[in-house]
A and B are shown apart, each in its own frame.
Chain A
């Protein structure tokens, strides 16, 4: 049976909107039942995992039901010899990684707040982290998904094998969809071995031009860094692999600037930005990282061209201009937190198609109404 929902409290607020009811279904079937009934009754549903990023996206037009996935938190199958894992949406990233580590493996991502963030939550918000330089982002690592649609349909796509082109790639479509197409109940990922050794190096750049030069030199060299980020004028480099491999890469990187032994803590710099809200996520090309960093007082920019920055106090109003400039250059600026602005910016000429997809999956607008791009 579906356990009783409880009344929502201010603690459950989604971007400032307090839901009327909170459900914590125990499994896929219960999830489907709640969704189907809510959909039928015209109630809106806000899915949630660890609740770490509930203020991302625009405030919901309404929030009748908060659907917590926290009880569906099992690692269902770690097929370590096949380098895959099937995991329920409510499992935290840290718990998943601990399980995978028992066989020397990992999901090669480093999302925000892993002790609390869940599989479903990072998928919905597409939060991958700095390792994507070497291992790809969530869209590249997810190989299967099970969704419950607004009408209660339980649907799987992809599968348990890494290589599979049968049918449409719904795992990718739902990654980053902010729960507006369906509630993710389980996911299958391809895995990577844990690195044999790791080493963090830092180059203190002389100025913005020097920082840009160092980043492009590292990306342009025949090296294999696991991660590269730009942080307050520093370029941090993560090397993984055999001792010999790391040593030889280190000596090659020495040519690009004066190396300092880095602390593994530098990779927490992105998370540390959240000591003040709101934070913006912006995307640019690797060759424009230094130009982008000049727009913010404090930022962490991954070498893949994905940056996170604090907005200086009292400068909320500048965001529109900043976004326009980023979009003119082919990039984007998304606000992660509440401001007077739309969180997303322009999705371009594909917006009507995105609306058509939403209409097919959730014609009544039950899931996360108004939180996604273009009012979806």
Chain B
């Protein structure tokens, strides 16, 4: 990087806010997806909105691409640096600025850790609902970029449901406010499109969150089935009975084995494990839980346990939340996939995954948010075996293609990032992607903010699609087309 630019950055951030030595830069070469690596030219660690603005203005003036980074836990390479670009790390902006319990609002800086929000409001019986598995380390700014979900979004929605307002530094360095503490602010729902835009539309520097009153009770039922098909049928039964649990999670036998090896959650050794959580007023939950129990038994559950204490509940969830990391216990390497299907396609896609597994000789463990059809197949492989990594990547991608074929999505919560941008044109038609990029062009015409992510090809913002010249008679409806 140009020494003058580095000097200017040092002037903005002070000596401790700039990283430019090549060893230190290496820390930032990837996020939670480690198979893509790019060393940035510089990393800045601003402590205020003004510093973010100053850095972005400089980038804009000098046409330097930049990538915002939260805790670096993302799983799609969203925070992967751009060659020749700057990484703007927001970990030092970690203040909780305001807690308004009467109105259930919390205003935070982007570097605040997800679980800290709940930690702050828990004494007053509130919680922050989005709960990605990485919630003890991931940042709210990163959650906003990825529109993070979690196990409980079946009932409570995603990050976007809980972000009411944003202060954003646009890619030209100007500051805008989207949404606010009140609902339905006049104008376009810019916050709605910003959340989940994976850092491509600017940098959020202040986030107004909605917090939720803790339900009177939470009960977690664990049911063991002979197969994932039986467990899936039970999920259908629960939905058909008109219930919307807070969470429904499923694990197959391989995932159970891994979780057991890692955290000893005391799961039954079964073909399909279902975890159903209901919350709300005690009387309501008790009545519905009896019904869930009955539906599970009708569908072949041979063991059912209901976590009675908070400690039992925590243990049940610990196994589920540790499932990804637990794969290390049963395989030297693995790929975490994130796809979505209409929930009813579950039995079909599982048998197709089985078949792919048999064909390739690679094991696939399955962990799902079963209520909303979000699959996390874990493709296990050994990097030391020649060709196996490539085969695993192919299998993993094939699963996404199956998701698309079933009318689903290539990502439910991990984002497109770097990893899946080539899949976007399989899921969307060209006009769909072109239309999305119009948003991009409005926010970031020079394409400086995380420029290489999400889209397989970037659209030049000056270019207008060819226009058709119509005959005046057609307009008047006098003549016909086709």
What residues make up the interface of A, taking CB atoms closer than 8 Å to B? 1-5, 21, 23, 33, 36-41, 43, 79, 81-84, 104-105, 126, 136-137, 139-140, 147, 149, 151-157, 159-170, 172-173, 175-177, 181, 192-194, 196, 216, 219-224, 241-249, 252, 281, 283-287, 304-306, 330-332, 334, 344-351, 353-354, 356-357, 359-361, 363, 372-374
* A169 and B409 form a contact (CB under 8 A): no
* A348 and B102 form a contact (CB under 8 A): no
Compute how far the CA of A104 lies from the CA of B243 in the bound complex, rounded to whole angstroms.
11
A27 to chain B, nearest CB (A): 12
8 A-B contact pairs sorted by A residue (CB < 8 Å): A82-B344, A83-B239, A84-B342, A164-B409, A216-B102, A241-B284, A348-B176, A353-B170
Chain B residues, Cβ within 8 Å of A245 = 280-281, 283-285, 287
Partner of B374, one of A163, A304, A330, A361: A163
* B454 and A173 form a contact (CB under 8 A): no
Chain B residues, Cβ within 8 Å of A196 = 242
A165-B415, A332-B186 known; A287+B476 contact, CB < 8 A: no
B352 an interface residue at 8 Å Cβ cutoff? no
Chain A residues, Cβ within 8 Å of B102 = 216, 220, 285-287
Partner of A161, one of B195, B341, B464: B341
Interface-central residue, A43, A154, A346, A357, by most chain B CB under 10 Å:
A357
Compute how far the CA of A69 lies from the CA of B216 in the bound complex, rounded to whole angstroms.
45
* B147 and A165 form a contact (CB under 8 A): yes
Partner of B185, one of A81, A82, A194, A332: A332
* B103 and A285 form a contact (CB under 8 A): yes
* B435 and A147 form a contact (CB under 8 A): yes
* A43 and B475 form a contact (CB under 8 A): yes
Q: Which residue of B lies closest to A361 (CB)?
A: B438
What residues make up the interface of B, taking CB atoms closer than 8 Å to A? 100-105, 125, 146-147, 149, 153-154, 157-158, 160-161, 170, 175-178, 180-190, 192-193, 195-197, 213-216, 236, 239-240, 242-244, 280-288, 340-344, 369, 372-374, 407-416, 420, 424, 427-429, 431-436, 438-443, 454, 464-465, 467-470, 472, 474-478, 480-482
Q: Which residue of B lies closest to A282 (CB)?
A: B182
Chain B residues, Cβ within 8 Å of A176 = 184, 188-189
Compute how far the CA of A360 lies from the CA of B443 in the bound complex, rounded to whole angstroms.
10
Chain A residues, Cβ within 8 Å of B470 = 36-37, 40-41
* B480 and A166 form a contact (CB under 8 A): no
B158 to chain A, nearest CB (A): 7
Majority SS at the chain B contact face = loop
Chain B residues, Cβ within 8 Å of A249 = 281, 283-284
A163-B409, A331-B182 known; A286+B216 contact, CB < 8 A: no
A21-B477, A285-B103, A345-B186 known; A165+B411 contact, CB < 8 A: yes
* A305 and B409 form a contact (CB under 8 A): no
A33-B481, A332-B185 known; A222+B281 contact, CB < 8 A: yes
Chain B residues, Cβ within 8 Å of A374 = 187
* B149 and A5 form a contact (CB under 8 A): no
A145 to chain B, nearest CB (A): 11
* B185 and A283 form a contact (CB under 8 A): yes
* A162 and B372 form a contact (CB under 8 A): yes
Partner of A170, one of B190, B407, B436, B472: B436
Majority SS at the chain A contact face = mixed
* A169 and B215 form a contact (CB under 8 A): no
| A-B contacts, CB under 8 A, total | 313
Q: Which residue of B lies closest to A212 (CB)?
A: B102
Chain B residues, Cβ within 8 Å of A81 = 236, 239-240, 343-344
* A242 and B287 form a contact (CB under 8 A): yes
A372 to chain B, nearest CB (A): 8
* B435 and A161 form a contact (CB under 8 A): no
Given A166-B420, A281-B184, A347-B185, 4 more pairs with CB closer than 8 A: A166-B416, A221-B213, A222-B281, A284-B182
Partner of B193, one of A38, A172, A305: A172
A81-B236, A350-B190 known; A161+B408 contact, CB < 8 A: yes
* B428 and A37 form a contact (CB under 8 A): no
* A37 and B474 form a contact (CB under 8 A): yes
Q: Which residue of B lies closest to A223 (CB)?
A: B281
A136-B161, A248-B283 known; A304+B213 contact, CB < 8 A: no
Compute how far the CA of A283 lies from the CA of B186 in the bound complex, rounded to whole angstroms.
10
Partner of B242, one of A177, A194, A223: A194
* A169 and B183 form a contact (CB under 8 A): no
Partner of B190, one of A194, A332, A354: A354
Partner of A283, one of B153, B158, B182, B442: B182
Compute how far the CA of A81 lies from the CA of B432 in the bound complex, rounded to whole angstroms.
27
* A1 and B464 form a contact (CB under 8 A): no
B148 to chain A, nearest CB (A): 9
Closest 7 CB pairs of A and B: A245-B284, A172-B192, A193-B242, A347-B187, A155-B435, A248-B283, A1-B480
* B436 and A82 form a contact (CB under 8 A): no
A300 to chain B, nearest CB (A): 15
Interface-central residue, A104, A163, A181, by most chain B CB under 10 Å:
A163
Compute how far the CA of A176 lies from the CA of B190 in the bound complex, rounded to whole angstroms.
11
Partner of B282, one of A155, A157, A165, A248: A248
* B284 and A349 form a contact (CB under 8 A): no
B78 to chain A, nearest CB (A): 10
A176-B189, A285-B182 known; A5+B411 contact, CB < 8 A: no
Q: Which residue of B lies closest to A373 (CB)?
A: B187
A257 to chain B, nearest CB (A): 18
* B474 and A357 form a contact (CB under 8 A): no
Chain A residues, Cβ within 8 Å of B469 = 40
B235 to chain A, nearest CB (A): 10
Chain A residues, Cβ within 8 Å of B103 = 285-287, 305
Compute how far the CA of A1 lies from the CA of B175 in the bound complex, rounded to whole angstroms.
48
Chain A residues, Cβ within 8 Å of B242 = 104-105, 193-194, 196
* B193 and A161 form a contact (CB under 8 A): no
* B454 and A167 form a contact (CB under 8 A): yes
Q: Which residue of A lies closest to B478 (CB)?
A: A4
A348 to chain B, nearest CB (A): 5
B336 to chain A, nearest CB (A): 15
